[in-house]
A and B are shown apart, each in its own frame.
Chain A
Amino acid sequence: MRVPLERKVLNENDRLAATLRERFQNHGVFCLNLISSPGSGKTSLLERTLEGFGPERRIAVLTGDIQTDNDARRLQHFGFPVRQITTGGACHLDARMVERALEGWPVEDLEILFLENVGNLVCPTSYDLGEDARAVLLSVTEGEDKPLKYPATFHHADLMVLNKIDLLPYVPFQADVAKENARRVQPGIEILDVSCTTGEGIDRWRAWLDRHL
């Protein structure tokens, strides 16, 4: 007997993500899911972001890694709440991990919640975390063709942050080509150039965040 279905494979994750999204939106929390390859600078971008915010700002970070709480420790110096999600093998965050990590946290009081995903350009793409926006980081020490190689990730992103632009004079990376590739995959994508080392472009990134509050 053949039973026709229309069931999303990740419907359980999607259901939880929808609950989280409703909770964030009801309380005016802007939730951003940060995705990139390992080493593109997600944690560095968050360090730069947190150091520029005064203590009156209500910001929190959940940071995901397969092992270690090194990223949470790097981010704890800035006085904002940070929690590490150690996935113990999973190469992405899912909505249940986020829900559990938020237990007992005053999420309702936040302006911004950053979700730093596990460094991976493939698997995080499929998992809705209830975020309002998704940002993908690409650094100039990678290939310009990453958007073409990982179209699903860039297609689902609202923003591309091109990081490590201070290294452009020393690497063969063609920034224009990378941006054109990202726009082919996602014509509506916004793009920001930044260097977490020199701080260049961080003001534009912060303005982008403020625009979404």
Chain B
Amino acid sequence: MSIAAAVLEALRAEAANHGGARVARAGLRIGELSGVEPESLRFCLETLVSGSDLDPLAFDFELCPWTRRCRACGAAFRVVDWNPACPTCSSADTEAAGGDQMELTYLELEEP
């Protein structure tokens, strides 16, 4: 719920930077390792928006997979079944390469 509140706070700040236009739709990028369950976040956002000055407001979720990069062969890959080894060359020498995103990616503003 506090993350949903932070989303709305960020959204209001960005809308204010654009002349206080009404926001019709917002894009969110959520990574698999962000600690956020997208459906729970959607529910919390809907609860906070409902009946507020932001209502109606739609959200688009873009889900980002948990990825690692192989230090041996350079391949980036999606982690499946928690397996951190490189599926291309089998090396265990891999590093984190994404999945903890929690970002506001766009706002769709209504024309004044």
* Chain A residues proximal to chain B, CB less than 8 Å: 1-13, 90, 92, 94, 122-123, 125-126, 148, 151-153, 155-156, 181, 184-185, 187
Chain B positions 1 through 31: 1 when the CB is less than 8 Å from some CB of chain A, otherwise 0:
0110011011000100010010000011000
Q: Is B39 close to A, CB under 8 A? A: no
Bound CA–CA A32/B27 (angstroms): 34
**A156 B100 Cβ-Cβ under 8 A:** yes
Q: Which single member of A9, A184, A185 contacts B102 (CB below 8 Å)?
A: A9
Q: Which residue of B lies closest to A11 (CB)?
A: B10
Q: Is B92 close to A, CB under 8 A? A: yes
**A155 B102 Cβ-Cβ under 8 A:** no
Bound CA–CA A1/B19 (angstroms): 13
- Closest beta carbon of chain B to A36's beta carbon, Å: 14
Q: Which single member of A11, A92, A155, A184 contacts B83 (CB below 8 Å)?
A: A184
Bound CA–CA A9/B105 (angstroms): 10
Name B's interface SS.
Answer: mixed
Q: Which single member of A2, A4, A9, A148 contacts B3 (CB below 8 Å)?
A: A9
Q: Which single member of B14, B32, B35, B92 contacts A7 (CB below 8 Å)?
A: B14
Taking A126-B34, A152-B33, A184-B83 as contacts, is the C-beta distance between A2 and B106 under 8 angstroms? yes
CB-CB < 8 A to A126: which residues of B?
3, 34-36, 102
Greatest chain A CB density within 10 A among B18, B82, B92, B96 is at: B82
How large, as a class, is the contact surface on chain B? Answer: 20 to 34
**A9 B2 Cβ-Cβ under 8 A:** no
Q: Is B54 close to A, CB under 8 A? A: no
CB-CB < 8 A to A7: which residues of B?
10, 14, 103-104
Q: Which single member of B2, B21, B94, B102 contacts A8 (CB below 8 Å)?
A: B102
Taking A155-B96, A187-B84 as contacts, is the C-beta distance between A5 and B35 under 8 angstroms? no
Q: Which residue of A lies closest to B25 (CB)?
A: A2
A-B contact count (CB 8 A): 87
Q: Is B76 close to A, CB under 8 A? A: no
CB-CB < 8 A to B64: which residues of A?
none
**A9 B84 Cβ-Cβ under 8 A:** no
Q: Is B109 close to A, CB under 8 A? A: yes
CB-CB < 8 A to B14: which residues of A?
3, 5, 7
Chain B positions 78 through 90: 1 when the CB is less than 8 Å from some CB of chain A, otherwise 0:
0000111000000
Q: Which residue of B lies closest to A153 (CB)?
A: B35
Q: Is B77 close to A, CB under 8 A? A: no
| Selected A-B contacts with CB under 8 Å, 12 pairs | A1-B111, A3-B108, A4-B106, A5-B103, A94-B2, A126-B3, A151-B82, A152-B33, A152-B35, A155-B96, A156-B100, A187-B84
CB-CB < 8 A to A184: which residues of B?
82-84
Interchain residue pairs A-B with the least CB separation, the first 8: A125-B35, A152-B35, A126-B35, A184-B82, A7-B104, A152-B33, A9-B102, A1-B109
**B35 A122 Cβ-Cβ under 8 A:** yes
